[in-house]
Structure 1
Amino acid sequence: MAMEALLGLIGNLNMLTNLLLGVVLLVSVGMIAYPEPSVRHNGLIAFLITLLAAALTNIPISVV
């Protein structure tokens, strides 16, 4: 019983992590499309860091 609860919690954390990475990717893409260069630059950095975080945590980028 406790093991099933733990696996459910891990699944929920994985889903929340995927959701957070997806939101950050969407926001960073919006920042890249913004006309001001400094915002575009920060959006590109956020996008690349998010892809790196997804790769380092072994989360498939296609899921995000």
Structure 2
Amino acid sequence: MKRILLASVMALAAASAAIAPSQAETVVVKTDNHMHMMKKHCRTRVVTHWRHHHKVTETVKVCN
């Protein structure tokens, strides 16, 4: 009887240890300093111009 009780307690402890990480919440850290967290917004732009009497088309990366 003691062994059955001990086995059931150990099984319950193992099951709760396996379930606990899946129920953990995600922690989000927010700061009030938004100016240092700004990312550059870049895009590609097609530029057409003349070079040595030939029309040249280039793609240029433009960032803010």
How does the TM-score come out when normalised to structure 2? 0.38
Q: Greater RCO between the two (CA within 8 Å, min separation 6)?
A: 1
**Greater per-residue helix proportion:** 1
**Greater per-residue strand proportion:** 2
How does the TM-score come out when normalised to structure 1? 0.38
